[in-house]
Structure 1
C-alpha cells in the first residue's frame, strides 16, 4: 500500500517542485482550507458515529453530517499527506500519514491535534531499546531513523477503544499506545518481519489482530507473548488490505490477488476475482455483502462471505482507495478524484 498511496499522491504534487522556493516544514504548517478539498486526492474514510470523515493529501480532512451530501473541511495542525483514519467511538478518532504523523480528534473529526511525528520516532526507539540489552539492532535502527529525518509514512491504524491502538507503516514501523496516544511504545522487535517489509494494513476479526504487508507478509498478534507472529503466506506478492470480521479474513492486494481464511489465518484459499489490477479497498454493507475495489476503477461484490465475487456496475470507473456503504444503499468512495457517491446496480452475471 506504500507504493499505491505514494504514487496516487505523487501525481498531484510533482509539478514545479524542482525549482520551488524553500517551504515551511509540513509538520509545522496547518492544512490550508480549499474549496476544492473534496475533489482532491483522498485516501480513506470512516464513520464517527453518524458523521463521515475522509482524509487525504496536504493534511486535508473533511467531515459530513448529512451522509456525504455536503462536506466541511476540518482544522488540522499539519499539511502532511494522510493515509488512514479510524474512530473507535463517535468522538475519539485518529488519523495517520506521511512524515510519521499521528493525529487525534476528540470532537468527532472537526479539529485535529498532532500526537506524534517522524521527528520523534527515532528518539522514541532509542530511549525504549536502550534499556533492552538484547535489542541492540533496534537501538541502531532508531539512530538511523533519527538521522534520516521525518520521512517515514504510517499507512494504517487500528484502535480497539479510545485508549488502545496500533499504528503501522513503511519499513516495519509499528508503535502501540495504551493511553489514547499520550505515549507510544515501539514494537519493531515484536514482529516476525526480519526483512523490514512495509506493514500496509492492520485489522481485527473481533478476536485476532492481523497485519498484511509487502512480499506476502501476513502476521497475527499472539496476546500471550505480545508478538505479531508470521503466518504461512499463500502468496509472495504484496497485500494492500485486509477485510476481517468474526470467522472471516480476506487479504487482498497486487494484481487482483485475494485470499480467504476461516480459521484465523492458519490456512488460506485463493479467491478468483477476475482482476489484473491491484485491489486497493473493501467495504461491507449491513446485509453482509462484501465489496472489493480495484486501482483502475473496477468493483466486485460477494454475497457468500467472500467465496465468490461478481463484477459490479458503479458507473464511470474511478480509482478507489477507501470505501463505505451509504445509508441509502449506495457506495461512498474516495480516491484520486476526491469523494464520489455511487448507486448500486445489480451485479453482472458471468
Structure 2
C-alpha cells in the first residue's frame, strides 16, 4: 500500500509529462518541454552524455535519454520528501533534499538511499566522474563522499575563522551552491556572498570572495573547469559575479532588478542564461550585456535550476508547476 501511495505522490508531484505543444514551438525564447500540475515543482536538473535527470517536490524524478527532448517519470518508493538538487556526471548520479536526504542511482532507473549522517536540509550537490561528491545546505552544512554518494563525512570549513562577531548568522552561513571539478577542486558559495575553494588534496580553504555581513547571498554558480571559459555566480537582487580565470577572481556585473536569481548556466558561443523569482536574463556575449526576458510566465512565476545539455548546446531549466523548459536566444 505504501509503495502505491508513494508512486502516486511522485507521479502527482511530477504531473503529466508532456511534449511541447504547437504553440510552444514558435519563435519565442521559451519552449515548454514538460508540464506538471499547478502545485508540483522541479528544483534540480542535470545532464551528462545526452542523459538528463530532474528532481523535485514529493520525491519526483524525471529522466530523459534524448538530450532533454522528452521526459518520463521515474518510479521510486524510497521517499516522498522533496529532492532539491541533483548532479549527473559519468556513471554517478546523486540527488539531495530535505532532512539530509540523499538518493543515489545504482543502475538506470534504480535508486538507493545514501547515508548522509545529518538531518539538515541539503540544497546543492556536485559529483565528478571519479565519484567525489560534495553536498551543501542550511546552517553551514557541508558533507563529502568519496564513493559516489553512498557514505558521507563532515567537510565544512571552521566557520568561526570567517564569522563576523557583530553579525549573527555569519558563523553558520547557508551553502547554496557546490561544484566538484574533475581535478578534485571543490568550490562552494552561499550566504553573505561567500565563495571558497578547497584544492584537491588540500586542507586549507581559499577565500575567493569573502563572507561579509549584508552582502547579497549567492544562490547559484556555473564554475568552469577550464580557465579559458567564464564562470558565473548569481544571487540576491540581481547580483551577478563573473570570473575569467576559472573562479579564482571575480568582478561584478549585476542585472538591474530587485528580484533574486536562483540559477545560471553558460553555453558555447558566449550564451549565458540566468533564472530566478519572476525574472530571467540572457546574454550573448559572456555576460557583458544582459537582456531581461519578459515572455510567458517568466515575470510571474519562478524557475530554479538551469543547465546546458553539452551534446546539443541547448539550455534547459526547471521550476514551478513541474515545468521543464528550453531557453533559446
Specify if TM > 0.5. Answer: yes
Work out whether 1:239 is the aligned partner of 2:218.
yes
Secondary structure of residue in 2 paired with 1:227: coil
Alpha-carbon contact 1:216-1:234 (below 8 Å) kept: yes
CA gap of 1:48–1:259, structure 2 versus 1, over 3 A, is closer
Work out whether 1:72 is the aligned partner of 2:53.
no
Q: Distance in 1 between matches of 2:245 and 2:270?
A: 19
Partner of 1:165: 133
Work out whether 1:273 is the aligned partner of 2:273.
no
Alpha-carbon contact 2:84-2:98 (below 8 Å) kept: yes
Partner of 1:84: 85
Partner of 1:142: none
Instruction: Report 1 or 2 for greater relative contact order, CA contacts < 8 Å, sequence distance ≥ 6.
Output: 2
Q: Deviations over 1:196-243 (max 9, x none)?
A: 110110125666432111112221113353233333439712110111
Partner of 1:113: 112
Q: Distance in 2 between matches of 1:188 and 1:70?
A: 36
Secondary structure of residue in 2 paired with 1:215: helix
Q: Give the deviation of 1:79 after TM superposition.
A: 1.5
Secondary structure of residue in 1 paired with 2:263: strand
Structure 2 counterparts to residues 29-40 of structure 1, below 5 A: 30=6, 32-35=9-12, 37-38=14-15, 39=36, 40=40
Instruction: Mark the structure with the bigger radius of gyration.
Output: 1
Range 327-336 or range 313-322, more displaced: 327-336
Alpha-carbon contact 1:254-1:277 (below 8 Å) kept: yes
- TM-score, with length taken from structure 2: 0.76
**Aligned pairs, number:** 284
Work out whether 1:200 is the aligned partner of 2:176.
yes
2:317 pairs with one of 319, 325, 333: 333
Bigger share in strand: 2
2:276 pairs with one of 287, 294, 297: 294
Partner of 2:242: 260
Q: Distance in 2 between matches of 1:69 and 1:186?
A: 37
CA gap of 1:272–1:217, structure 2 versus 1, over 3 A, is closer
- TM-score, with length taken from structure 1: 0.72
Partner of 2:302: 319
Work out whether 1:179 is the aligned partner of 2:143.
no
Structure 2: state its 5+ residue gaps.
16-35, 164-170
CA gap of 1:185–1:329, structure 2 versus 1, over 3 A, is closer
Q: Give the deviation of 1:187 after TM superposition.
A: 1.4
Alpha-carbon contact 2:317-2:327 (below 8 Å) kept: no
Q: Distance in 2 between matches of 1:188 and 1:324?
A: 26
CA gap of 1:36–1:58, structure 2 versus 1, over 3 A, is closer
CA gap of 1:44–1:193, structure 2 versus 1, over 3 A, is farther
Alpha-carbon contact 2:273-2:283 (below 8 Å) kept: yes
Alpha-carbon contact 1:209-1:221 (below 8 Å) kept: yes
Range 44-53 or range 164-173, more displaced: 44-53
Q: Give the deviation of 1:282 after TM superposition.
A: 1.4
Q: Distance in 2 between matches of 1:331 and 1:183?
A: 32
Q: Give the deviation of 1:73 after TM superposition.
A: 2.7
Partner of 1:130: none
Q: Distance in 1 between matches of 2:319 and 2:274?
A: 14
Secondary structure of residue in 1 paired with 2:192: helix
Work out whether 1:101 is the aligned partner of 2:80.
no
CA gap of 1:287–1:204, structure 2 versus 1, over 3 A, is farther
CA gap of 1:257–1:77, structure 2 versus 1, over 3 A, is same
Secondary structure of residue in 1 paired with 2:188: strand
Range 184-193 or range 73-82, more displaced: 184-193
Alpha-carbon contact 2:46-2:88 (below 8 Å) kept: yes
CA gap of 1:178–1:321, structure 2 versus 1, over 3 A, is same
